[in-house]
Amino acid sequence: MSRITRLVTIFRIVGRYRLDELVDTERLGRAPRLALALMPWRLHQVPQLPRGVRLRRALEELGPVFIKFGQMLSTRRDLLPADIADELAMLQDKVPPFPEQQSIAIIEKGLGKPVAELFASFDARPMASASVAQVHAATLHSGEKVVVKVIRPDIEPIIRQDLALMFTLARLVARYVPAGRRLRPVEVVADYQFIILDELDLGREAANACQLRRNFENSKLVYVPQVYWDYTCRNVFVMERISGIPVTDMAALQARGTDLKLLAERGVEIFFTQVFRDSFFHADMHPGNIFVDATDPADPTYIAVDCAIIGSLSDSDQYYLARNLLSIFRRDYREVAQLHVECGWVPPQTRVQDFESAMRAVCEPVFERPIGEISFGQLLIYLFRTAGRFDMHIQPSLVLLQKTMLNIEGLGRQLYPGLNLWDTAKPFLEDWVQERYSPQSFLRRLQRQAPSWLEQLPQLPDVVLDNLQQSRDGDLRFARPQHREETQQLQSGEKTRRHRRQLLAGLACLGAAITAVPGGWQLLAAAPPVSWLLGGLALALLWPRDN
């Protein structure tokens, strides 16, 4: 499908659901307002559906790429009205499977062997089918039960084409919609591009799964299925097949007598452990990717799959985020404001007093509710939204963090409505900050950096000498023109003084000649005034001036 054809399809679907009604035309410029008024879809009646439902259905009709974009957009509650964000969160990327023979051909081409040789058994009918890939059940010749994930054929050109159109629309919004710059639509699409293109590389997902599995090895918190690297490439991924209860299947969990309070608290602990201990967190923890091993109902364990989207924070972001959250717990808004400036999340010229006042106005009404009803994730959204008014640029890593926090909180309260995230989070953060700056932690970081420093130590004298030489060369490059200019000034000054001496000598000779001639001064005095005027003018013109 050509780009023009695809664009026509988009406009047709936009017109059918009258998404132009979602735009505040009164705030548009004259040209875009006129263009919208002349669109043929104005002849259609507005469907009698809420605006969020119309937008969701339009995205579903536009296909997998737009569906996943809507899912990601639903996490940006700092940008969207609540009704639209809630509706977009309901988007499902269940799409019809692609033909079995295509799936087999992709596997055989990617792994270089026939399916019969690769697997003892292979179910050509997919277990599940999503927007980017579908999954088949199989058994290895060694007896292990596995799942085989296969990327949809020819999906990348479609994704790149739709991304190009999204960027075009985002630029139009940024240019013609008054609130466009604040919404940063181009940055939102760029974040989405980064995420969805990563999902096309199953080798990356396999590597993420291995790292996450290693981080929680021998842990009762979460289990990550084993990756089979001999059967994995860019568009095929084979992993251990797990059996567990979907985390949303409350009836099955309750029938097993699962400790739901412990399960909910462990979800929060997993999140904070990933973010602060490992700085490597599963950023797509929606219910479809989470299962529960309730073999021991009193000691349940999570099972996490689909590690395509992973978030990570820098050391400084970890520290500032922990300090920010603790300051919010204590309602120390001055420290929150100062931390935002210190870590560069808001411009350095931001007035701390103004930011502090804005944070207090947002947070105080939230804290008036019972502690068990306060949404931790929602408070994070308020924090980012308020900071956005002070020109805070939301980093992709923080967006993923916010999204994951909302997922974890929603999941935890679905399992156990009385879950108090604050009681679980606050001690964890306090212990983390205290441990991070303990002498033992400092020595461990010192030990970790020591090999790198020792390796570079022999080169230190050369580096110092090189820097000194560069500094000296810079000084010389600066000094040479300065010296040349000073020399020219000295030469010019000397030349001026020489001209003055010559002129004074000439005047002295002229005076001596007049004196030597009898009656010379009388003749000079009897000269007409015009002669004096011309003589004075000539002397002024001949007299050399300083440069």
Place of tokens 């009918």: 125
Residue of 411, 424, 409 whose CA lies nearest to 378: 409
Lateral strand order in the sheet of 245-246: 222-223, 301-304, 290-293, 245-246
Known catalytic residue at 293 = no
Query: 1-13 in b/e burial notation, b at 16+ Cβ within 10 A?
Result: eeeeebeeebeeb
Q: Is 237 in contact with 205 (CB distance < 8 Å)? A: yes
Residues 6+ apart with CB under 8 A from 495: 544
Which 3-state string (H, E, C) describes 180-242? HHHHCHHHHHHHHHHHHHHHCCHHHHHHHHHHHHHHCCCCCCEECCCECHHHCCCCEEEEECC
d(CA 415, CA 4): 47
Q: What gap in Å lies between CA 127 and CA 131, rounded to an integer?
A: 14
Quickly tell me which residue has 């994070």 as its tokens: 380
Rounded to an integer, what is the distance from CA 85 to the centroid of its chain? 20
Q: Quick one: tokens of 508?
A: 């002295």
Active-site pick, 78, 162, 191, 284: 284
For residues 83 and 50, the answer to whether their CB atoms sit within 8 Å is yes
Among 286, 270, 288, CA closest to 278: 270
**Cα angle at 156 between 151 and 162, to 5 degrees?**
130
Is 101:153 a contact under the CB 8 Å cutoff? Answer: no
Query: Which one, of 341, 350, 307, lies nearest residue 323 by Cα?
Result: 341
Q: What is the DSSP letter of 280?
A: -
Q: Which residues are catalytic?
A: 284
